[in-house]
Structure 1
């Protein structure tokens, strides 16, 4: 928690129990949860916290670069504390979102820039398919 407190202070943010809890949750999960999922996981520990507080906190954390917002084509966004550019795998059956090794495509930005007139500043890469668990269900 000291590391998270230091991160918030470094970004000039007020350290609140809710911000600590939300950032801690995101930094310690491999899931890419929605705001609603985060709220449901934390509300028992923070009964006075509202869903609106979660949304506002996520927006502040996103604006300061502490988390990234993912749009994988669902009705709501997902959130990830791993902010370095990296591709994601998305299961079109269960909705699971997983990180891929960023080294797989480390030269992709430079390669695309070679073939376009764009000055590229970021990349977001999503692959869609069926996770191993859903494949197994489909084959049974």
Structure 2
């Protein structure tokens, strides 16, 4: 939380209770919630917080690099408190999104750079399939 406060001070951004709540929520889960999911989860504790406020808080947190925004192709973004580069796997049936741990694709940045004229800054890797629960149900 000290790093969080320090980043906001350095960027001269206001540290609001809503931004803190959204950040804490994302840091407390391994799930990859949408803005709507975060909004619903925080409603009881922050009944006056609007969905627009959640979206604004997420935008700021992504911009300062405290969380990452992921797009697995659902037409909506999901958010991840784990900012270390890592791939994700998405169940095409129940829409669950999980981190894939122990595999790094950071070497791809240099590989792509060697085959293009781009200076590669980052990458996001997604896999699609059926989670164990959905696979067992079929």
Q: Give the TM-score normalised by the residue count of structure 1.
A: 0.88
Q: Secondary structure at the match of 1:62?
A: helix
- Map of 2:108 onto structure 1: 108
Give the alignment of 1:94-133 within 5 angstroms.
94-101=94-101, 103-133=103-133
1:52 is aligned to 2:52: yes
Distance 1:101 1:24, change over 3 A: same
Residue of structure 1 in register with 2:22 after alignment: 22
Count of paired positions:
138
Unaligned runs of 5+ in 1: none
* Alpha-carbon distance in structure 2 between the residues aligned to 1:109 and 1:83: 17
SS of equivalent to 2:20: helix
SS of the counterpart of 1:105? coil
Q: TM-score, normalised by structure 2?
A: 0.90
- C-alpha deviation, 1:7, in angstroms: 4.3
- 8 Å CA contact 1:85, 1:102 repeated in 2: no
Alignment partner, residue 36 of structure 2: 36
Distance 1:29 1:10 in 2: 26
Query: Any conservation in 2 of the 1:5–1:20 contact (CA below 8 Å)?
Result: no
